[in-house]
Structure 1
Amino acid sequence: MAETSLQNALLQIAKDQNFTAPKIAIDESPNHGYIANVNRITLKDSETDATLHLFAKSKPKEIKGEWEFFYKNEAEFYNKVVAAFKEILQNHGNKLTLPLMPKCYFANDEIVILEDLLETGYKIWSPLNEPLDKNHVKAVLSAYGKFHAFSFAFKHKYPEKFASIGYKFEWFQTNYERLINNGFYKGLTEKLADCFDQETEFEYIEAIANFLSHGQVAYLEKLALLSESDVFVHGDSWTHNYMFRYDVDEPKPKDVCILDFQIFRKTSPVIDLSYFISTCACTPEFFNDIDVYLKVYHESLQTHLSQLNCPDVYTWDTLQYEWRNYSLKGLIMAGIILKMMTADKDELEARKHIEMPMQFDFISRNEALYQQRMRIVIKYFYDAGILQS
C-alpha cells in the first residue's frame, strides 16, 4: 500500500472530524501481522488540540489473489454491518448500545482505520499460550450473545437487506482439494495421531483421520445448507482478537471488545462459539461444563433479543441441536490456531513466508503443549459423540 493512501485516508478522517489544521504522527515501526501491516497513529488538530488515537491495518504489497478478499470483506463489515446494527437501534433511544467493537473511522479495500483501544485502557490477554480463565470466557460468550442478537434482529426486521450483505462461504470447503494435494491434512493427521497411545486409544486416531480425510467434506456441505439460523458471525474467534478492560486492581474484565472481522460471514452462531471454546478455553474444566458456558451465551442472546423487541428466534433446544451438528468447526480451527498459540514467536516469524495454513505444519519446540491441548479437544468431540469413527 502506498504511503499516500494512508495519508489521504487520515486527511479524510480529519475533514470528517472538522479538524482545521491536522497534524499526523505515524508510528514508523509497523508490526507486520500475518496478513496486515499495522500502524499506531496520532491525529491532532493544531488549532483546537482535539486528538484522535488511531490504529491502521493496511494490505501488504505481497497480498494477492484470494487474500485480497479479506480486506474487502472487513470493509464491508464496518461500512454495512455496523451501519445495519445502528439502524436497528433507531427505535430504541438511549436504552441500548452497539456490540463492543472498535469505532471505525475509515474502511476501504486496502485500509481500515480504527480507534486505538490501547489508549482507552483495553489490553490483550497475556500470555497468549494460556487458555482464558472462566471470567474472560464468560465475558466473551456474553459479548457474542449481544453481537448475534443484533444480527438476528436485523435479519428479522430487514430480511432483504440482511440477504444483500456478507457471504456464505467456508474457506476450508473451497480449498479442501488443495489442502489434500499439498499434504497439509496428511501432516496434520500424523501430528494429531501422536496425541494418543497407538494401542489403547486407536479409536481417537481413527476418528480424527477419517474426519480430516473425508468426513470434513460432508460436515462442511451440511453446514453450507444451513440458512434459517444464519447470522453475521465474527469468524476469527481466537485469543488475539479480543481486548479486555478492567477496573483498577480487578482481574475480572468489565468490558470486552471484539476485533478483526476480515472473515466475517453468514452461518450458524455455533461457528463462533465452537471456534472460541476449542482454541481459547480448551481445558477439561470448560468442556466438562460445556452447557454451563453455552447458557452464559444463550442468556445474553435472549436478553438482548428481548431488548431489541425480537422474537425468540434461537431457542436453547436449537442451540444444543446446532452444537451437536455443527460445532466441529472448532476442531478444524484448533488444529491450526493452537499451533500458532503454543509455538514460540521466532518459530512463527521464520515461517511467515510460507502459504497459510502450511506455515503451521511443523513440529515446534512446544509440541508437547500443542499435543496436550489438541488431545483435550479431540477427546471432547469424540466422547460427546460429535466426532464419529
Structure 2
Amino acid sequence: MAEHNASPDAEFKVPEWINTALIQKALQKSEEGNLQVQDISVEMGTAPGDNYSSSIYRVRATLSDGSPRSYLVKGPPPGVMGETTAQLGAFRVENLMLSDIVPQVEALLEEAAPGRFPPFAARCPLYGSHPVEFLVLQDLAPAGFKMADRKRGLDLRHSLLALQNLARYHAGSHALLRRKPQLREELPPHWLEKADEGAKQFLENMIQMAADACRSWPGYEEYAILLERYKLVAMETGKVCARPKPGAFNVIAHADFWVNNMMFQYEDGYPQPQGYRMVDFQGCTVSSPSLDLLYFFNTSVTDDVSARHQKLLLQEYHSTLEETLRLLRLEAPSYETLLKDLDAHGPFALMGTLNVIPFVRAQRAVDLEASLTTGGNGLAYLYEDPAVKKWMQRVLPEYKRKEWLDS
C-alpha cells in the first residue's frame, strides 16, 4: 500500500500523521464495504489568508476498485494560533457540532418537512487527538462547492442564499435547544469568555490603530476619540453581548459567520450559486442570532450590499426564520424584536469591522502568526488600504448614529 505524495507544486511538508492508514479509517467510518485505500496525494486545502484557526489539507485517495475519494483534513495551525485553538477546545466543539448537533438539527427539519431542506454542512467521519487533534471532513469541492472572494465580499444573491440558510439553521437549532436544554451546558461559552490577556491586547491594539488612522483622515478626527474610549471597554462589552439572555430567543450561533466560513455550489452555465454549506463550526455557542447577523453584515458583504440592501436581507432572514419555525410548530420573534436585538448587540458590528475587515479586505497578505506574537503591533498599514479605508469611513458614521460607539 503506497503512502502519500505531496502535490508537485507544494511548498510545504505533509505531516507524517496524514497517511493512508488515517484515510482508510475515515473511509471505513463513512462507507460500508471492503474497499481499501491504495494511495493518496496531499496538498494545501486553502490559500494563504483564507483560514486562521486550522491548517487544512486536501487529500485525494485512490481506492482498490480504482474509484477516487477526496477529504479535507484539519489540524492545528502552528505557533500562537495553535495554542489558542487548543485552549478554546475548538476541534472538540467542531466534532460535536458536525457529528452530533448539526445532524440532529437536520433531522428535526426533515421530520417537519421531508425532502425540503438540504444539509447545512459537510460530514465529519473521523475525529482524533493523537498525535494532534484533527478532523477528517467530506470534501465539498468535487460537488461544485467553492469559497467566494473574501476581498470583494458577497453580492446580493450570495447574501440572500447565506441568510436563508442561516435562518433555517437558527430555527432548527432553537427547536433542538427546546427539546434538549442540556446542550446549553455541552457547548462552551463564546470564545471571548476564555480570551487571555494576549487576545485582549491584540483587540485593543487593533482599535488603537483604527483610532490613529481616523486621526489622520480629514473629517474623522472625532472617531479617534470615540474609538479610544470604546477600547477601554471593548472586551467586557463583547462578553456581555455574547452571553445568552434568559427568556430571550436563543439559538446555537455559528459565532464565526463570515464569507470564508461558507461555500457556494455552482453548476456549469450558471454564474449564480445553486447550493450552500456552512463550514468551520469551531466557535459555536448558545446565544442570540444577532451575533451571526451582525458579524456577517460587518465582515462579508460588498459595499453596495452593506449600504443599500441590509433591510431587504434582514426581512428575508426573518421571513425564512418565521416560516421554518412555523413548520416546527414554534413561534418566531417579531421583526421589530429582531431589530431591537440587533441594536442591543451593536458591539459585535464593531468586532467585525475592527478585528476582521482589515485582514479580509486588504490587498496585502497578512502574516497573522507574526502579528499575534507582537499583539497586533505593526498592522497600522492595513487601515491605509483603499478597500479597508473606504469601509471604515462609510460605517463609522453609521455606528455613531446608532450609538454603538458610546462607551
Q: TM-score, normalised by structure 1?
A: 0.85
Conservation of the 8 A alpha-carbon contact between 1:104 and 1:115: yes
From 1, 16, 25, the counterpart of 1:3: 16
Does 2:397 align with 1:379?
Answer: yes
Residue 250 of structure 1 is matched in structure 2 by: 270
CA shift, 1:188, in A, is 2.8
Does 2:177 align with 1:155?
Answer: yes
* Structure 1, 205-214 or 4-13: larger mean CA deviation: 4-13
Alignment of 1:278-357 (within 5 A): 278-281=298-301, 283=303, 285-307=305-327, 309-344=328-363, 347-349=365-367, 351-355=368-372
CA shift, 1:360, in A, is 7.8
Conservation of the 8 A alpha-carbon contact between 2:211 and 2:225: no
CA shift, 1:250, in A, is 2.6
SS for the counterpart of 2:404 is coil
CA shift, 1:219, in A, is 4.8
Q: C-alpha distance in 2, partners of 1:100/1:90?
A: 12
Conservation of the 8 A alpha-carbon contact between 1:352 and 1:359: no
* Structure 1, 252-261 or 221-230: larger mean CA deviation: 221-230
CA shift, 1:259, in A, is 1.1
CA shift, 1:130, in A, is 0.9
Conservation of the 8 A alpha-carbon contact between 1:184 and 1:361: no
SS for the counterpart of 1:387 is coil
Q: C-alpha distance in 2, partners of 1:91/1:187?
A: 46
Q: C-alpha distance in 2, partners of 1:295/1:18?
A: 44
Conservation of the 8 A alpha-carbon contact between 2:256 and 2:292: yes
From 60, 64, 73, the counterpart of 1:56: 73
1:104-140 alpha-carbon deviations (Å, 9 max, x no partner): 22234422122211111112213x3112111111111
Q: C-alpha distance in 2, partners of 1:120/1:85?
A: 23
Conservation of the 8 A alpha-carbon contact between 1:166 and 1:266: yes
Runs of 5+ consecutive residues of structure 1 not aligned to the other structure: none
Does 2:222 align with 1:209?
Answer: no
SS for the counterpart of 2:190 is coil
CA shift, 1:202, in A, is 3.9
CA shift, 1:220, in A, is 2.7
Runs of 5+ consecutive residues of structure 2 not aligned to the other structure: 1-13
Conservation of the 8 A alpha-carbon contact between 1:24 and 1:42: no
* Structure 1, 351-360 or 200-209: larger mean CA deviation: 351-360
CA shift, 1:99, in A, is 4.1
RMSD (Å) for aligned C-alpha atoms = 3.0
From 208, 211, 231, the counterpart of 1:189: 208
Partner amino acid for 1:121?
Answer: G
Residue 169 of structure 1 is matched in structure 2 by: 190
CA shift, 1:215, in A, is 5.2
In 2 relative to 1, CA 322–61 (structure 1 residues): closer, same or farther, beyond 3 Å? same
Partner amino acid for 1:342?
Answer: R
1:297-348 alpha-carbon deviations (Å, 9 max, x no partner): 11111122122x2311433122111101013212112212112113345x42
CA shift, 1:201, in A, is 3.7
Q: TM-score, normalised by structure 2?
A: 0.82
Query: Identity over aligned residues, as a percent?
Result: 17
